[in-house]
Chains A and B, each alone.
Chain A
Amino acid sequence: MKISLDWIRDYVELPNDLEVSKLMYDLTMSTVEVEGADVLRDRFENIVIGDILEVLPHPNADKLKICRTDIGDGETHEIVCGGINLAPGMKVAVAKPGAMVRWHGEGEPVEIKNAKLRGVESYGMICASSEIGIFELFPFTEAATIVDLSAFGASCGTNLAEALGIDDVILEIDNKSLTNRPDLWGHYGVARELAALYGIPMKKLPVFRPKEGAAGINIVIDNPERCARYIGVKIENVSPKPSLFNIQSRIWRVGMRPINALVDITNYVMLAVGQPTHAFDSDNIEGHITVRSAGDGERLLLLNGKELSLRKSDLVIADDEGAVGLAGIMGGAKDSVLDKTERVILEIANFEPIGIRRTTQHHELRTEASIRYEKGIDPQRADLALGLAMSMFEDEFPGMSVTGFDDNYPRNLESSEIDVSLEWMARRMGKRLSDDSIKEMLINLGFDVKIDGDNLHVVSPSWRSTGDISIPDDIMEEAARLHGYENFEPTPITTAFNGAVNQREIDIDRRIREYLSFRCGMQEIFTYPWVHDDFLDVVSPARNGLLQISTPPSPDEKFIRSSLLPNLLKAVADNARFFDEFAIYESAQIFSDGDYSAAYDKRELLPRGRRSVAGALVGRQDAVNSLFRRAKGILEEMPRYTHMEPLTFTQREKPVWADDIVWLDIERSGESAGKIALLSKKSAIACGIKTSAAMIFELDIDSLKPQTSRTNRYAHLPEYPQVEYDISMIFDEPVKWETILQTIRGKRSEGDLVRSVSFVDVYHGKQVPDGKKSVTLRLVIGSDKKTLTSDEIEACANLIVKRLTKTLGGELRG
């Protein structure tokens, strides 16, 4: 919303020494956010009034003239101009070098410089209204019409803003910060707030008193619950002539377009007091004016030319023949003010906000009026609007007469009455303000205030009673903001210490993330909760049990993820374009359409969300073995590093996206906890992953069990030396490591002094026949009774070799 300070001064005498920046700051801190100020004098910098002394022909161009012009600096300047209406004695707007103008009213503003035009030096330019942004005040129809400012009587050299009487500052107020303050929509409301902030008096608006018995018009309200008040005034001897320049320019300054005096008055009143008003041609009204619900399917042609098919829930203004306007939103075409209009009916009405909002939404029709009605307006405000409007009609049309008046006011708005404990207020503000200062601030804001002991009894003004002020906390806020939030010192926070915060279930997620990032070298990613159909096809082609968004971000992103994998695969595909090797993971919630429960409130059934973590290790296609071992290692070691119960691996059910051989189920205590697998070639291609191999895992965090503390126990260090002993043996390809391990660990026999066994590597290649593999393993051999001799160590190793040979057909490599 734009607010003119010049206009504000109509209603309140601002202190002379009040800087605009201070006013902006104070409003921002206590009332609404002021986003900026437009100083019109600066906007028209270097644009001044010039007096054309002489118009000479241009030696090289028929359409151009040379104007000898006085711009008040004691010299006569020659300015080349192509205007069609140039004449000696004409006062014009001259853009001096340095001014910003829009050539021919188009494009971005450019800076004027001294230039030669067809060989003649020109000092700046004589402007058309469109070139200096004032076309709406000085419209023209024929191209190259120069704006004639002779009527303004300003002396040469005067800044254009001053010359036009618009040396004003326009404040830009953030509409969002006005949502709860319908009283501030309009200059009068902002002036009232400033009066309260600075403790200065308001000026009174004119009051209109209808003559007794001047009926002449009859307003019927069918739906008083949706129309609290409707004033109709029939006014004759008017015409759609242009309004007074100051009215036009004020409307223009705050961003609306002047049209004619009849429309301008209604807009001006709305911008002044925030009350929408409407004027319609009374010659086109048949009989009574009725406020009623629309008939189902009733047609209404609006003044913007759009025809609506109405619903019962829409409210209309109707005459005896039918709807003539959409209440509170837009007038109809039938009764709109036209060139020949001589009699109007001025409507000043109060409509209930929710109905207005529903109608504007349904018909996709928002107007300046509907925006204001949607916020809620007190019906008392119609009186301000009426007084102001009627005084403006008198100014614009001295010969006008009021031939009809009706004020149908079925529903008054009750003022809010609130009792507040002063002692409570002091506790909540962390500071005790004096009773007198609280009283004074509230009175300045228009409240009626009575203090009786600890009790502050407050009656709020009508303009704050539309829902804005209703509870004691609102009164505290009024006092606090007027006192100035900066004038409250921060108060230390004190709460009892009730013991350490211990949230294992919450912390496990963080420990997993930190483990994956810091220990495993993986990068955390964020993706969206919705998944793209292409990637969903790879992971869960069936779609059953998935939740959907009713208005999805795009038609092929309507499903909510029940697994992190589709988006993880997308991230793999996206990054594979730039990197050969990388490792990523995400930890987030997943949902399925089922398992509904009322965890918090029996009125609410929510699908159970599960916390999940999924990762991908990506590398070259020939690196599957090492990718597999890295990925598996990450999951094998995770329980130790993140302090939770151990995970085991087995094959139960192959996921659809997985390679035929390389996949495992992850389990905790025999319960499924996730999957780890190589992405199948088919799935990779479907995801657009062409040259990389990806090991993928997904783990259900909610099925993991964090341990209460670190539970592993310390093991004594060996008293006697232990020896590492590597053995390489050739086995048949199908012999699994797990089997080798079990065989070594099998029955303990005399001389078996193996303390531990570990995997070193598997080798295929020269010296290893086809269908065989060479496995290198490492034994740790030692005794807790003595230092072993090399014979004893050899004997132990031989024992193991023999056992592997006998049981698994292993053969020692030379």
Chain B
Amino acid sequence: MHEELARLRASGETRIASATAIAELRNVKASLIGKNGALSDIMKEIPKLDPSLRAETGKLANELKAFFTKLIEARDEELQLSESAISGDFDLTVPGIPPSGGALHPITQMCYDLNDTFRSLGFEIFQESEITSELYAFDNLNFPPDHPARESMDTYWISGRDSGRGGDRLCLRPHLTGASVRYMQTHKPPYRFVYPGHVYRNETTDARHERAFFQYEALIVDRDMPFTAGKVMVKSILDKVFGRDVPVRMRVGFFPFVEPGFEIDMGCLVCNGAGCSVCKNVGWIEIMPGGTPHPNVLKAAGLDPAQYTGFYVNIGLDRLVMMRYGVDDVRLFHSADLRFLSQFK
């Protein structure tokens, strides 16, 4: 009888431990310590034993029952905790609930990316009025008096203030560069600042031309800064925007407000410079103008061009964002169309 109990103990212990579901454990429990379980069967045999053995065997059997009960309870708790909170089927392929769906305009996103880059390099951000005068839009920037950009077919002049000259003639700013003089006039050199914003030109619009677009200019002015420092500035911008090392080349370019002036190209990221339709087979894409501020511009800002020089770049963010996402119509940026804008989270 003792041996029988010992065997039951061993096999019962294994069965309890190996039960992997609550229902199975319930069956194990019934078969071990239930009314018709193995232990009950043994206990039913006890009265038939020699009286001298009954007491001890009964004690052993009761001990075993207590042992099983405890073991089953522990296993039961363990199984209950490891059971899923869900009873029944659960569809894991149902989509999640998205967080509330706001976003910055894709151009603002690019602008903030650049602001963060430049701030980390100690640049200030400068904002000025979108309405400016011929004095700041052209005169200060060394545009000759008869430069075609001053004509009304290129610039949006303000009615009633379009006939005078210089400070009396007002317009929606046709570029940002005039702001550089404003900043320099109100701050002390050396300068490191960016001045992003909208500019406006009287143009016929199509998929590649807009009347309103977003420019980003950066200017450093310091004593005897070589133009070769500009290359570092340009590379920092492009590496940030495209998130990888972008080849850059500076070639000759002409703008009235810089001397020397550059057209700055980046290696075509579509073909890696091998030549493709995007870069018109030259491997390079014209990305921004830049250069050293013309001495006349520095003079307009009240600086001595013999001492101070610098480097300026102007980035058309519309174009850069178009390249970033493959957008093929520049007019979408000012369309306020959520079907477009909501794609840029």
Contacts and interface: CB of A to CB of B under 8 A. Distances in A.
B23 interface: no
A430 B157 contact: no
A560 interface: yes
A517 B152 contact: no
B260 A473 contact: yes
A357 B150 CA distance: 13
A361 B231 CA distance: 40
A601 B134 CA distance: 12
Contacts, number: 235
Interface string B157-180: 111101000111010100000000
Contacts of B101: 521, 523
Nearest to A520: B102
Interface in B276-335: 280, 292, 294-295, 309, 333-335
A589 interface: yes
A518 B229 CA distance: 37
Contact of B212 (A181, A358, A498, A529): A529
B108 interface: yes
Contacts of A488: 227-228, 231
B119 interface: yes
A428 B157 CA distance: 38
Contacts of A495: 122, 190, 192, 220, 222
B105 A526 contact: yes
B186 A429 contact: no
Interface residues of B, number: 90
A579 B167 contact: no
Interface residues of A, number: 92
Nearest to A179: B254
B105 A525 contact: yes
Nearest to A547: B158
Interface in B54-101: 99-101
A571 B101 CA distance: 17
Given A430-B227, A551-B202, A589-B129, A357 B146 contact: yes
A713 interface: no
Given A428-B227, A526-B334, A354 B146 contact: yes
Interface string A496-518: 11100101001000100110111
B10 interface: no
Contact of B133 (A473, A582, A606): A606
Contact of B159 (A354, A501, A547): A547
A491 B226 contact: yes
A427 interface: yes
A33 B249 CA distance: 13
Contacts of A428: 224, 226-227, 292, 309
Contacts of A583: 102
A609 B124 CA distance: 21
A31 B158 CA distance: 38
Interface string B223-257: 01111110111010000000000000111111000
What 8 A-B pairs come out closest when comparing CB atoms? A521-B100, A430-B226, A604-B167, A477-B260, A571-B336, A603-B167, A490-B231, A430-B228
Given A493-B232, A549-B172, 8 more contacts: A181-B254, A361-B151, A477-B252, A490-B232, A529-B172, A548-B160, A549-B158, A574-B337
15 contacts: A33-B251, A473-B292, A477-B259, A477-B260, A485-B252, A501-B124, A513-B104, A524-B102, A526-B107, A529-B130, A549-B156, A574-B337, A575-B337, A600-B182, A600-B186
Interface of A: 28-33, 35-36, 177, 179-181, 354, 357-358, 361, 427-431, 467, 471, 473-474, 476-477, 480-481, 485-486, 488-493, 495-498, 501, 503, 506, 510, 513-514, 516-518, 520-529, 547-553, 558, 560, 567, 570-571, 574-575, 578-579, 582-584, 586, 588-589, 591, 600-601, 603-609
Interface of B: 99-105, 107-108, 112, 115, 119, 122-127, 129-133, 135-136, 144-146, 148, 151-153, 156-160, 162, 166-168, 170, 172, 182, 185-186, 190, 192, 198, 200, 202, 211-212, 214, 220, 222, 224-229, 231-233, 235, 249-254, 259-260, 262-263, 280, 292, 294-295, 309, 333-339, 341-342
